[in-house]
Amino acid sequence: HEFSGLGPDTEGPPIGTRVIAAMERGAFAERALATAAVLAPVPEHVSSLDAAGLGLAAQTAWFALTVRARIEAGESVLVLGASGAVGLAAVAIARALGAARVIGAVRTDTGAQLAREAGAHAVLRLDRPAVRDTLRDELSACGGPVDLVVDPIGGDATSAALRCLAWSGRLVIVGFAAGDIPHIRANYLLLKNIAVLGLQWSDYRERTPERVVSAWRFLFRLYESGALAPRIGRVLPLAQTSEALVGLAAGGGGERTLLRIME
């Protein structure tokens, strides 16, 4: 959308600037209202489709890695659900931030290929029997325990990933795509000196919108450098919003479904 201003005293990009905002509601419309503080200018060389395709998934991955886990160059990262939108973004961003080893964990052969294309050094499988044991065994064969885990799926994979953390490792929970909310035993955190952190990204948008705008700037730089790119699937007109939502509920294999508001 183009920023049209909200009054003479409004702080924000100059009127006429091409901007992006991740909104809670009201965006499925030809015209939308957003607080100026959450608007981020879109650079000239970033298409509107690609900017929208980055969206919530890339923001979530960025905040999980940098704000919650505080990743440092040279650390190792395990990304669960690495073929989903958040997972693919987390793999690419971790590589761009200097992670020495990025491992994707997926359930299908197609997912494994997507994770490798995003930059994963190695790929593990979550569809094995007794994943709580097999994931750690597979990880041992490609370098051993990791410093960070990004977890958008929950379920048994969370328990398995906890066993894959190195001393003083951090696991960031960003969702429960697998459906089950895991129970974490506090004594295990103490024995390994590890931390389990939560990320509710929308809270940052409401409480510290300037950090979200700053994240957009970094993400656009990664995009322009070729380190980060969204996988865009279907682009539908606004009139087909219901069809887009049905497709989203069915899962898109990491591909973004976009609505074109104006032709």
What is the structure's pLDDT at 5?
A: 46
What is the structure's pLDDT at 240?
A: 93
What is the widest separation between alpha-carbon atoms in the chain?
62
Lay out the sheet containing 122-125: strands in order across.
122-125, 101-106, 76-80, 146-151, 165-173, 195-198
> Residue 67 pairs with which residues in a beta bridge?
none
* Helix (H/G/I), strand (E/B), else coil: 40: strand
The pLDDT of residue 39 is above 60: yes
What is the structure's pLDDT at 35?
A: 87
For the full predicted model, state whether its pTM sits above 0.75. Answer: yes
pLDDT in tens, 136-193: 999 999 899 999 999 999 999 999 999 999 999 999 999 998 778 989 989 989 999 9
Q: Read out DSSP for 123-153?
A: EEES-STTHHHHHHHHHHTTTS-EEEEEESS
Q: Are 172 and 64 in contact (CB under 8 A)?
A: yes
pLDDT in tens, 91-101: 999 999 999 99
| Secondary structure element (H or E) that encloses residue 236, with its range | strand 232-237
